[in-house]
Structure 1
Amino acid sequence: MTLTPCRWTLDDYHQMIAAGILADRHVELLDGVIVEMSPEGIPHSYFSDRLANDLRTALVGRAQVREAKPITLPDASEPEPDIAIVEPLDDVYLDHHPYPENVFLLIEYADSSLTKDLEIKSKIYARAGIEDYWVVDLKNQRLIVFRSPDLGEYQQRNTLTSGTISPLMFSNITLQVARLMKR
């Protein structure tokens, strides 16, 4: 006998949230599956918060920095990336979370979630056409940069341990790779 998982739609997921069914759970919707999110360790919290603050300062008036907030994707996914750089649409986000066309950059900090971020989320983000996706691998002290989505896969994957990097949409901003994960 083969078991077939029940896939949830975005509408199903939103109804569960509104009804309070998921109130005590830290979850996200990935490809129609409700997935538990790993708790954040101290380094994860510290470095993602520091980067978000750096980006807010650098992007003031040009983009909005959202931390651990949902984005709505067309394939029954509503992940909560650690950092999302999105269009500053103010009260439009009262009606819906950012859509792929509103996203400039997504950043995930990974410790225990590395496999999910590199294998599952990278495919979901590529299918949605997210042009710039970064995974900060805290265990191995490296930044993995995904770019050029095509046919549900990123065509470029680069690993950096030092040097500088700029977001695709904000090439005038230069970030030290080491600062993303080191003191």
Structure 2
Amino acid sequence: MTTVTTAPTAELPDAFRPLHRREFQALVDQGLFEGTHVELVGGVLVEMSPQGGRHSDMIRWLTKLLVRAVGDRYDIGVQTPLAVDDLTLPEPDLQVIPAGRYLDDHPSQALLVIEVASSSGAFDLGEKARRYAGADYPEYWVVDIPDRRVHVHTRPEGERWRSIDEITGGVLMSSAVPSVVVDLDELFG
């Protein structure tokens, strides 16, 4: 389950100051979040829930598929930070990013971002989808384990997607990375 960490409502001031991505990274570098698993989305810390067996299996399966599909043309990020905007540094389950080294900052560009959802579907389809569209990533998938479907978002416009399809069977081919082809029967076992 994904939870958003905020203070009690009665004690909140009239104006909020979001945590910025670079401030969050500095706190991470200082070890402030040692022993916790949080990501920054919209200036707010979001606690990430532990993975179940199907969730982690899905990530491993998709990782192998993506690595084979893109070869050396792109890099694959697996649960690594993506610098989406000044207030957002999530750790998507998978990302296809331009090949290269990112020694001074996390990658900010992505061709395909994939979230695997066991219990976080509403957040992945809501706030994260809005943030990824705002970053102008060409394609975003939410692999919905309980409902055995993939929500495919394409054609970002501002902070929304002009096209969202729910794929429940057959073969799915990425429009942003055409070499990525997924047989949904194999994906869902």
Q: Do the two structures share a fold, i.e. TM-score over 0.5?
A: yes
Deviations 1:68-114 (CA, angstroms, capped at 9, x unpaired): 0000022410010000111111x2x11111113xx110000001111
Superposition deviation, residue 33 in structure 1: 0.5
Separation in 1, partners of 2:131, 2:179: 28
SS in 1 for 2:176: helix
User: Which residue of structure 1 aligns with residue 78 of structure 2?
Assistant: 67
Match of 1:42 among 24, 39, 53: 53
Say which SS state the counterpart of residue 168 (structure 1) adopts.
coil
Amino acid paired to 1:83: L
TM-score w.r.t. length of structure 1:
0.92
Name the residue aligned to 1:161: 168
Paired position in structure 2 for 1:94: 103
- Answering whether residue 30 of structure 2 is matched by residue 3 of structure 1, we say no
How far 1:171 moved relative to its partner?
A: 1.7
In structure 2, the CA distance between the partners of 1:172 and 1:24, relative to structure 1 (3 Å rule), is closer
> Would you say the 8 A contact 2:136–2:158 is kept in 1?
no
Q: Determine the C-alpha separation between the residues in 1 that align with 2:94 and 2:85.
A: 19
- CA–CA distance in 1 between the matches of 2:179 and 2:83? 28
CA distance in 1, matches of 2:180, 2:120: 28
* 2:146 is the counterpart of 1:135: no
Cα distance, 1:60–1:172 mapped onto 2, change above 3 Å: closer
- 2:7 alignment counterpart: none
5+ residue gaps, structure 1, are none
Q: CA RMSD in A?
A: 1.4
Deviates more, 1:33-42 or 1:164-173: 164-173
> Structure 1 CA distance, aligned partners of 2:23 and 2:178?
39
Residues 116, 145 of structure 2: 8 Å contact kept: yes
The alpha-carbon deviation at position 2 of structure 1 amounts to 7.6
What's the counterpart of residue 4 of structure 2? none
Between the aligned partners of 1:45 and 1:148, the Cα distance in structure 2 is 28
Which ranges of structure 2 fall in alignment gaps of 5 or more residues? 1-9
Structure with greater helix percent: 1
- SS at the partner of 1:149? strand
Q: Deviations over 1:110-145 (max 9, x none)?
A: 011111101110001011111100000001111100
Matching residue's letter, 1:96: D
Q: CA 1:173–1:111 in structure 2 vs 1: closer, same or farther (change >3 Å)?
A: closer
Shift in Å, 1:7: 1.2
In structure 1, how many angstroms separate the alpha carbons of the residues matched to 2:62 and 2:156? 24
Q: Spell out structure 1 runs of 4+ moving beyond 6 A.
A: none
Q: Is the 8 A contact 2:138 2:176 kept in 1?
A: no
In 1, the alpha carbon distance for the partners of 2:51 and 2:81 equals 16
Counting aligned pairs with the same residue, the percent is 30
Query: Equivalents in 1 of 2:35, 2:66: separation in Å?
Result: 30
